[in-house]
Chains A and B, each alone.
Chain A
Amino acid sequence: MSGSPAALLEVRDIVIRFGGVTAVGGVSFDVGQHQICGLIGPNGAGKTSLFNCISGFYRPSEGQISLEGQQISDLPRHRMMGLGIGRTFQNLALFRSMTVRQNVLAGAHSQGRAGFLASALRLPSSTREAAAAEDQARALLALLDLEQFAEVPVAGLPFGWQKRVELARALISRPKLLLLDEPAGGLNHSEVDALADLFHDIRRTFQLSILLVEHHMNLVMRVSDKVVALNFGKKIADGTPDEVRATPEVISAYLGEQAHAA
């Protein structure tokens, strides 16, 4: 499926510079429809910079990113969700004063149209919209086993559950592409094991593609259809997990030159 003409996301020759430092030096890859793609690389390889570029948080210095053929790399970041790109954050970025339900509903913002006046007056259009969002939120809370926490302030939940709330918040707008920034970070062993199944479930239920940046190599290799490996801002491998695992550059990047030579 990799590099197929039906690619959902196309990343072309992306260069990201911070001052004089080149974090990403010309990377291209595709994410296909309903594909799970893992983005890996040692610390400082440029994964996070590239990820932030795709999610609209950075602008690339050069190159283009397009979703279903539409150029997105010059759009403001609040447009991404509406275009079908949902994301989670590495170190949790929940709305801490709100309940779990409110957090998930906040994810549906881009689906709604009601403005200040319609909302204050509770015009039929706004209440209808709100009821539809409530329905979707309820379904997602059920899907992610979050029902019992719906009315709990999100800040009081254990870390692993907060990550689930972020996932629900990203999914409620029915994205075409889900960007996950280190989803396994800070989770314990059994929680990481459950993640792989969860991602497959999500792909099936929501018919979406997933791009994940992840350090946890077992998870990436188990869950991904395709893996892109970066080192020093360059792509060093792109293929199935088995292909990438066998690539000499990947082995040396992770284990060092000597291990590879030996």
Chain B
Amino acid sequence: MPSETTLVEVSRRPALGIDPRILWGIGLALLIAPLFMAESYRLFQLTLAGIYAIAILGLNIITGYNGQISLGHGAFYAVGAYVAAIMMDKLGLPYWTTLPSAAVICGLVGYGIGFPALRLGGLYLALTTFSLAVAVPQILKYKGIEDWTGGVQGVLVFKPDPPFGLPISADQYLYLLTVVLALGVFLLVRNLMASRIGRAIMAIRDHGLAAEAMGMDAAKLKTSTFAVSAGITGLAGALSAIAIEFVSPDSFQVSLSITLFVGMVVGGVASIIGPVFGGLFVVFVPNLAEEVSKAAPGVIYGIILIVFLFVLPGGVAGLLRRLATWLKRQS
């Protein structure tokens, strides 16, 4: 069947002019190596970077691909984390049940908020989502739900032990779990963006009226996209609660939403692989800044960020894209 072979060719078009199997091999080796090499704190940071990568991918779907600016995705991250913590601590449910639950609940919350908010669009949507990020930490402190959320104290949870008696530490297991989940989510999102739905998501960003003339129900698609985006970021939040073993309102301040936004831009807007680099950036660069100057890490972080965006205007993904075209021209 000629059509199918072409589809396969298109989806497996070699990036960088290298056999994709080699790229996959290198990628897998890079993902597995830290399990054995990194000391436990570094491994924890990499786990965190992986979690942020998932959260940033979620944001990238609505903001990068669909063009709807959200400055409040930290709120969904927080809701996901609290869903996990409450399910584990208050309801005594196993950790793995919290992940799909957090994704579904955050998806529903996202749908409920997106339904009115996306009709505003543009800067108004940015401010609406921003106000969500401002409100959520305070809602979490609210006395009426203190029995569930633990109020200002937050909720303590415990890391799961590796299953099947695997001879690895809890930290190694969490890293592995994060990598596997991230691979799954990234693969699903890649499929989605290459499909008719993905094309519609981008078409609405590029030209809303023309998208509607092509039969795309822009309002409905934007709301669904927002829900999917919130669900993925909520999943990352749940994973973060499990990895950090603690949730509290102060962990989810407004700055978290900005951090996700920074990660998205640094990694590459509207890119699948970009959020991986965004996650690494938001975890490791603040550390680096602290090492350079204990007195003013914020200044150093700011300078690194500006230099980064100046040198790589399309984010890391943009650099990779340019590298790929350059390599293709060479061969």
Contact = CB atoms under 8 A, between A and B. Distances in A.
A108 B210 CA distance: 13
B217 A119 contact: no
A142 interface: no
A139 B124 CA distance: 43
Contacts of B215: 78-82, 109-110, 173
Interface in B203-224: 203, 205-207, 209-218, 224
28 contacts: A81-B214, A82-B215, A93-B207, A93-B213, A94-B207, A95-B207, A97-B202, A97-B205, A98-B199, A98-B202, A98-B203, A105-B196, A105-B199, A106-B211, A109-B203, A110-B214, A110-B215, A115-B197, A119-B196, A120-B195, A121-B188, A122-B191, A127-B7, A132-B3, A134-B6, A134-B7, A169-B214, A173-B215
A248 to B, nearest CB: 37
A94 B210 contact: yes
Interface SS majority for chain A: helix
Given A57-B209, A82-B215, A109 B196 contact: yes
Interface SS majority for chain B: helix
Contacts of A120: 188-189, 191-192, 195
A131 B241 CA distance: 41
Interface in B251-296: 270
Contacts of A96: 206-207
A135 B3 contact: yes
A130 B7 contact: yes
A108 B202 contact: no
The listed residue with most A CB atoms (<10 A of its CB), out of B4, B207, B212, B213, is: B213
The listed residue with most B CB atoms (<10 A of its CB), out of A82, A93, A169, is: A93
Contacts, number: 111
Interface string A117-133: 00111100011011111
B228 interface: yes
Given A106-B203, A130-B7, A173-B215, A116 B197 contact: yes
B228 A116 contact: yes
Contacts of A77: 212-213
Given A80-B213, A81-B213, A116 B192 contact: yes
Contacts of A231: none
B60 to A, nearest CB: 14
A163 to B, nearest CB: 13
Contacts of A129: 196
B196 A114 contact: yes
A102 B206 contact: no
A89 interface: yes
Contacts of B209: 57, 93
The listed residue with most A CB atoms (<10 A of its CB), out of B1, B195, B216, is: B195
A61 to B, nearest CB: 21
B151 interface: no
B212 A78 contact: yes
B206 A119 contact: no
Interface string A165-179: 000010001000000
A82 B1 CA distance: 28
B210 to A, nearest CB: 4
Nearest to B187: A120
Using C-beta atoms within 8 Å of the partner chain, give the interface range for chain A.
35 or more
A112 interface: yes
Contact of B191 (A55, A105, A115, A119): A119
B188 to A, nearest CB: 4
Contacts of A97: 202, 205-206, 270
B207 A78 contact: no
B3 A106 contact: no
B200 A134 contact: no
B286 to A, nearest CB: 32
Nearest to A166: B210
B314 to A, nearest CB: 12
Given A57-B209, A81-B213, A116-B228, A131 B197 contact: no
Interface in B169-194: 188-189, 191-192
A87 interface: yes
The listed residue with most B CB atoms (<10 A of its CB), out of A82, A94, A106, A133, is: A106
A107 interface: yes
Contacts of A55: 213
Contacts of B4: 131
A153 to B, nearest CB: 11
B198 interface: yes
B102 to A, nearest CB: 18
Contact of B197 (A93, A94, A114): A114
Contacts of B212: 77-78
A107 B214 contact: yes
A98 B206 contact: yes
Contacts of B192: 116, 119-120
Contacts of B6: 134, 138
Contact of A133 (B188, B196, B202): B196
A98 B1 CA distance: 27
Contacts of A121: 188, 191
A119 B197 contact: yes
